[in-house]
């Protein structure tokens, strides 16, 4: 054998050994059970949820008064008015869905707390109410320094994780919260808000809502400047709740990744609150993320269509019996008995994630539960303790440890870092101005 052949043989042997060595972790990973895969993923990347309405619960249940409030256990937190129990499905607990004990069980490491206020408020009142909601969540975080940490950057999130605390970020739900003022937007950012949903249930000065009549045909001229200014600041643009044309306009303007803080895939459930394939394709190019929602009527297409059918029957009966509301109600009740409301399931949430992954890839999906804001009655996801159950469903479908890490938090971390990088690159840009209106 020539020296050259010996060298080639040794090289091939070394390459084969290296390949075998590289294959060993893969074989070990393949041997992991779904439960072990989930546990390993959560150890590296705890859950980062995009939307939770604890501040709204504190406003509705306690008028933002924290005396006597125990965030370690909110299972029996009372309703302020027994009539509110009607909003909970039969047999569903009427306490809160979020507390520190259940967050720990859910392996939560970061939470965007929604400082939602009603879109029906006049905008100056909405600004005041938003300030109150920012204040109340900051007071909650301050009361639990061993378990929670206020976070205003990706670095803060990583610091909180290392300390074993829940990184607590602030998200504003609805552009009515700035009263049409870019100056107010900048001050909300200074107070710690790190995303803003451009609309809520109603069309506003920024753009058209998914659940209201259009006014602007997408983003308004002010709305385009809002998107630009948010990204100049490093504030995430949230496109949940906005109309499809508003989504597309925002993606036209955006120079950094955007988020959907709590939405699903319209191909799985046709609700307008969800994201169409056309928008998903644009989102991939943008680099953003859809944080999948657990709100039953957005998750389940059958439940969404049932709700539309119920509304039709109700309207018909009221038109048939304008003078006899008792007859109209009896007819509606009979229809409901004959057509029980479909139940949304944890498997359907996984279907939304599956669709997004198949359409635009694993790098563009996260979690945005909307707990304590309407995600009540989803089978298999009763509260914030249940995130591992969703990851287990995904693991059983073949998602790898790295896939689960991206879904749980790493995709959201990447998007926030990209927004921060864009802002750093534009720190010399002048603030965008708009005139005061009163």
pLDDT in tens, 22-32: 333 343 445 89
Dihedral of CA atoms 121, 127, 132, 136 in degrees, nearest 10, equals: 100
Residue 14 lies in a domain: no
42 and 111 share one domain: yes
- Beta-carbon neighbour count of residue 145 at 10 Å? 10
Q: Which two tokens stand for residue 5?
A: 């052949």
Instruction: Kindly give the interhelix angle for 277-286 and 244-253, rounded to the nearest 10 degrees.
Output: 20
- DSSP secondary structure code for residue 341 in this structure: P
337 and 394 share one domain: no
Strands 148-150 and 365-367: unpaired
Q: Given 49, 238, 370, 372, which residue is catalytic? A: 370
Residue 224 lies in a domain: yes
The domain in which residue 328 lies consists of 302-342
pLDDT number for residue 342: 96
pTM for the full model?
Answer: 0.91
Q: Given 49, 53, 99, 208, which residue is catalytic? A: 53
The b/e string for 320-350 (b: 16+ C-beta within 10 A; e otherwise) is eeeeeeeebeebbeebeeeeebbebbbebbb
Each residue's pLDDT tens digit, 113-145: 999 999 999 999 999 999 999 999 999 999 999
Q: Given 107, 200, 271, 364, which residue is catalytic? A: 200
- Beta-carbon neighbour count of residue 178 at 10 Å? 25
Residue 241 known to be catalytic: yes
45 and 135 share one domain: yes
Q: Are 114 and 52 in contact (CB under 8 A)?
A: yes
Which domain-ending residue is among 313, 342, 371? Answer: 342
331 and 414 share one domain: no
Dihedral of CA atoms 322, 201, 124, 252 in degrees, nearest 10, equals: -140
Q: Are 162 and 105 in contact (CB under 8 A)?
A: no
Residue 27 lies in a domain: no
CA distance 151 to 240: 22
Residue 248 lies in a domain: yes
Q: Given 241, 271, 352, 364, which residue is catalytic? A: 241
pLDDT number for residue 264: 98
269 and 417 share one domain: yes
What DSSP letter does each residue of 202-214 carry, written as one string? Answer: S--SSB-BTTS--
Residue 53 known to be catalytic: yes
Contact partners, residue 428, CB within 8 Å, separation at least 6: none
Strands 166-173 and 108-114: parallel
pLDDT number for residue 260: 98
Residue 9 lies in a domain: no
Q: Given 56, 99, 147, 173, which residue is catalytic? A: 173
216 and 294 share one domain: yes
Q: Given 107, 176, 262, 364, which residue is catalytic? A: 262
Residue 13 lies in a domain: no
Question: What CATH number has the domain bearing residue 126?
Answer: 3.20.20.140
Q: What is the pLDDT along the chain (438 residues), one digit of tens a residue?
A: 433 333 333 334 333 333 333 333 343 445 899 999 999 999 999 999 999 999 999 999 999 999 999 999 999 999 888 778 777 887 788 999 999 999 999 999 999 999 999 999 999 999 999 999 999 999 999 999 999 999 999 999 999 999 999 999 999 999 999 999 999 999 999 999 999 999 999 999 999 999 999 999 999 999 999 999 999 999 999 999 999 999 999 999 999 999 999 999 999 999 999 999 999 999 999 999 999 999 999 999 999 999 999 999 999 999 999 999 999 999 999 999 999 999 999 999 999 999 999 999 999 999 999 999 989 999 999 999 999 999 999 999 999 999 999 999 999 999 999 999 999 999 999 999 999 877
Contact partners, residue 109, CB within 8 Å, separation at least 6: 45, 46, 47, 48, 157, 160, 161, 166, 167, 409
274 and 309 share one domain: no
CA distance 226 to 221: 9
Q: Identify the three-state secondary structure at position 71.
A: coil
Q: Given 49, 51, 372, 383, which residue is catalytic? A: 51
What DSSP letter does each residue of 108-134 carry, written as one string? Answer: EEEEEEE----TTS-HHHHHHHHHHHH
Residue 19 lies in a domain: no
CA distance 365 to 303: 23
Q: Are 377 and 342 in contact (CB under 8 A)?
A: no
206 and 333 share one domain: no
267 and 332 share one domain: no
pLDDT number for residue 32: 92
Tokens 């995600």, located at residue? 375
Residue 51 known to be catalytic: yes
Residue 173 known to be catalytic: yes
Residue 44 known to be catalytic: no
pLDDT number for residue 30: 57
Tokens 């490491």, located at residue? 109
Residue 339 known to be catalytic: no
**Number of domains comprising the chain:** 2
For the chain, the residue count is 438
Which domain-ending residue is among 314, 342, 370? Answer: 342
Contact partners, residue 382, CB within 8 Å, separation at least 6: 93, 97
Q: Could you tell me where the DSSP H helices lie in 195-345?
A: 221-233, 244-253, 277-286, 296-299, 301-320, 325-338
331 and 394 share one domain: no
43 and 58 share one domain: yes
Residue 260 lies in a domain: yes
Q: Identify the three-state secondary structure at position 10.
A: helix
For 61, 79, 144, 332, the CA distances from 96, given in Å and listed in that order, are 10, 9, 18, 30
**Residue in 265, 272, 267, 266 with CA at minimum distance from that of residue 289:** 265
333 and 212 share one domain: no
Q: Could you tell me where the DSSP H helices lie in 144-181?
A: 154-162
Which domain-ending residue is among 317, 342, 367? Answer: 342
Contact partners, residue 92, CB within 8 Å, separation at least 6: 376, 377
């Amino acid at each position: 054998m020539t020296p050259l052949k010996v060298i080639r043989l040794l090289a091939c042997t070394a390459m084969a050994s290296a390949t075998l060595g590289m294959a060993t972790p893969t074989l070990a990973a393949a041997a992991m059970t779904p439960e072990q895969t989930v546990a390993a993923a959560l150890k590296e990347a705890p859950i980062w949820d995009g939307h939770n309405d604890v501040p709204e619960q504190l406003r509705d249940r306690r008028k933002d008064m924290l005396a006597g409030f125990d965030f370690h256990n909110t299972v029996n937190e009372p309703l302020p008015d027994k009539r509110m129990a009607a909003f909970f499905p039969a047999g569903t607990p009427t306490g809160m869905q979020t507390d520190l004990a259940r967050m720990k069980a859910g392996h939560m490491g970061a939470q965007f707390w929604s400082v939602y206020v009603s879109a029906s408020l006049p905008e100056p009142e909405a600004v005041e109410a938003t300030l109150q909601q920012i204040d109340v969540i900051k007071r909650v975080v301050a009361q639990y320094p061993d378990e929670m940490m206020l976070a205003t950057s990706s670095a803060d999130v990583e610091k909180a994780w290392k300390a074993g605390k829940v990184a607590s970020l602030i998200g504003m739900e609805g552009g009515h919260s700035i009263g049409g003022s870019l100056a107010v937007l900048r001050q909300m950012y200074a107070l710690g808000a790190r995303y803003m949903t451009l609309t809520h249930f109603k069309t506003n000065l920024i753009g058209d809502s998914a659940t209201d009549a259009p006014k602007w045909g997408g983003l308004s001229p002010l709305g385009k400047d809002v998107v630009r200014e948010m990204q100049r600041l490093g504030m995430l643009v949230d496109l949940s709740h906005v109309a499809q044309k508003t989504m597309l306009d925002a993606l036209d303007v955006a120079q950094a990744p955007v988020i959907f803080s709590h939405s699903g895939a319209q191909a799985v459930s046709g609700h307008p609150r969800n994201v169409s394939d056309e928008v998903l394709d644009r989102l991939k190019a943008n680099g953003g993320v859809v944080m999948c929602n657990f709100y039953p009527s957005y998750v389940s297409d059958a439940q969404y269509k049932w709700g539309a059918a119920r509304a039709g029957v109700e309207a018909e009966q009221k038109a048939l019996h304008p003078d006899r509301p008792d007859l109209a109600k009896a007819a509606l009740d009979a229809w409901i008995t004959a057509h029980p409301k479909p139940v949304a399931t944890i498997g359907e949430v996984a279907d939304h994630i599956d669709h997004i992954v198949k359409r635009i890839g694993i790098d563009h999906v996260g979690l945005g539960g909307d707990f304590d804001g309407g995600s009540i009655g989803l089978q298999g996801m009763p509260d914030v303790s249940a995130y591992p159950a969703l990851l287990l469903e995904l693991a059983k479908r073949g998602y790898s440890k790295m896939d689960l890490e991206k879904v749980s938090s790493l995709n959201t971390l990447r998007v926030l870092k990209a927004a921060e990088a864009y802002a750093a690159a534009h720190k010399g840009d002048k603030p965008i101005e708009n005139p005061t209106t009163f």
